[in-house]
Chain A
Amino acid sequence: DAKTTQPTSMDCAEGRAANLPCNHSTISGNEYVYWYRQIHSQGPQYIIHGLKNNETNEMASLIITEDRKSSTLILPHATLRDTAVYYCIVRVASWSGGGADGLTFGKGTHLIIQP
């Protein structure tokens, strides 16, 4: 089972910041928080990941609480093209390279950007 909890859906006005929460209260010390999104009819797209420090890239910012039990993905200026399902995934940063591995997807948050 997925180790994260996300709201089923959220709305955000175009041009505003979209803040997507994720709870991961059972996260282990060596597990990172990854975010992916899936725009309709496309494969998932990597957004960002982090361990305990806040992270920022050209797509988004990731804010992780000090106790690491929750995090927030921030899209600073949402556009209509950001409408997608956003997945928060907790996993170790390394790939085993020797067998069963991969990402465990939960149900995600369906973010709808309103014009």
Chain B
Amino acid sequence: SAVISQKPSRDICQRGTSLTIQCQVDSQVTMMFWYRQQPGQSLTLIATANQGSEATYESGFVIDKFPISRPNLTFSTLTVSNMSPEDSSIYLCSVVTGPLQNTEAFFGQGTRLTVV
């Protein structure tokens, strides 16, 4: 398993501003992902954070809105840009720590974002 720390745990932001969420893992991981969970909904994958290259985004998510960095094997950031109230969600970091075969993903506790 892995210990995943997300910062901040929650924030209230003004519309039009940006927030950067950090995900730090206590060990090197093979894969990192970012998910969004809108109020009362299930989780939706935003993107795969690739080390040293651009993230791979799912349909409906774009780099200009959700820029992602992953400078090394233990750290990634997700920025929510030019926020609107519709961006109010929980944002979660997820990692795969073991080999790419037959292993599970682990999740951080999430960042609860409220945009006013």
Contacts and interface: CB of A to CB of B under 8 A. Distances in A.
Given A43-B108, A101-B33, A102-B45, 15 more contacts: A42-B110, A43-B94, A43-B107, A43-B110, A44-B43, A45-B107, A46-B105, A46-B106, A93-B102, A97-B30, A100-B56, A102-B94, A102-B105, A103-B94, A105-B43
Q: How large is the interface on A (under 10, 10 to 19, 20 to 34, 35 or more residues)?
A: 20 to 34
A107 interface: yes
Given A101-B31, A101-B48, A95 B42 contact: no
Nearest to B58: A100
A99 B58 CA distance: 10
A99 B107 contact: no
Q: Is the interface of A mostly helix, strand, loop or mixed?
A: loop
Interface of A: 32, 34, 41-46, 49, 87, 93-97, 99-108
A94 B109 contact: no
Residue of A41, A43, A97, A106 with most partner-chain B CB within 10 A: A43
Contacts, number: 65
Contacts of B4: 43
B44 interface: yes
Contact of A94 (B35, B42, B101): B101
